[in-house]
């Protein structure tokens, strides 16, 4: 796994050991960021971050700041290792549940231009209703929400659907307020 484009293009990333983390593949990340276009100076929230590949790609492509959140200690260590290896500043790694991070961000009135969610594929249906309530408060005007799910799952949120595309076993769905 590597950074696809930007300042850190071609640099290798580490992922947590074991089957609990499923890093977003290079091809999917490349397609996603082609759809998103420029993200210069954006504030990014990477939930269910795993290896941090999505947020790291955003930082490489010019995002100003990224908050990574994952409940798994191994995932958080991998993100911190990747940040240190790349020499990236402007990032925060939280070993916390995504829903509690969303509540705290909303309570602090922090909004993000890009919110990325890549929960375990089997969890979307269980999480969808709670995410529906929590997400709108943290998305900046004109911002976007990216959801990665299993290809057969078609997520819905109380936001406008921009596009949904399948890439092998994955589906990327993009929403905007």
Residue 134 has pLDDT above 90, yes or no: yes
pLDDT value, residue 1:
84
Query: Residue 21: pLDDT band by 50, 70, 90 thresholds?
Result: low
The model's pLDDT over 58-112, given as tens digits with 9 standing for 90+, comes to: 999 999 999 999 999 999 999 999 999 999 987 999 999 999 999 999 999 999 9
Domains of the chain: 26-176 (3.40.50.150)
> For residues 172 and 177, what is the distance between their CA atoms, to the nearest angstrom?
17
Over residues 49-60, the mean pLDDT reads: 95
- Is pTM beyond 0.85 here? yes
* Per-residue exposure over 5-38, b if at least 16 CB sit within 10 Å of its own CB, e if not: ebebeeeebebbeeeebbbbeeebbebbbeebee
Mean local confidence (pLDDT), 2-31: 80
In the predicted model, is pLDDT for residue 24 greater than 80? Answer: no
Angle, helices 53-60/73-86, rounded to nearest 10 degrees: 20
Q: Say what the pLDDT of residue 15 is.
A: 85
Q: Going by C-beta distance under 8 Å and a sequence separation of 6 or more, which residues neighbour residue 100? A: none
Instruction: Say yes or no to pLDDT of 44 above 70.
Output: yes
Structure tokens at 117: 């969610």
Instruction: Write down the pLDDT at residue 18.
Output: 57
Q: 157, exposed or middle or buried, with CB in 10 Å at 0-12, 13-18, 19+?
A: middle
Instruction: With a cut of 90, say whether residue 156 has pLDDT above it.
Output: yes
């Amino acid at each position: 796994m590597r950074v696809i484009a930007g300042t850190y293009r071609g640099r290798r990333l580490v992922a947590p050991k074991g089957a609990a983390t499923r890093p977003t593949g290079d091809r999917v990340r490349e397609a996603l960021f082609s759809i998103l276009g420029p993200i210069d100076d954006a504030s990014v929230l990477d939930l269910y971050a795993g290896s941090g590949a999505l947020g790291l790609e955003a930082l490489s492509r010019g995002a100003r700041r990224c908050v990574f959140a994952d409940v798994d200690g191994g995932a958080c260590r991998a993100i911190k290792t990747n940040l240190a290896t790349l020499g990236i500043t402007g990032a925060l790694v939280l070993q916390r549940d995504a829903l509690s991070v969303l509540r705290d961000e909303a309570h602090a009135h922090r909004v993000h231009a890009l919110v990325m969610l890549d929960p375990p594929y089997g969890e979307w249906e269980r999480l969808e209703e709670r995410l529906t309530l929590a997400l709108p408060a943290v998305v900046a005007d004109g911002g976007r929400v990216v959801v990665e799910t299993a290809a057969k799952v078609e997520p819905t949120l109380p936001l406008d659907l921009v596009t949904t595309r399948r890439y092998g076993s994955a589906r990327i769905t993009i929403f905007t307020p």
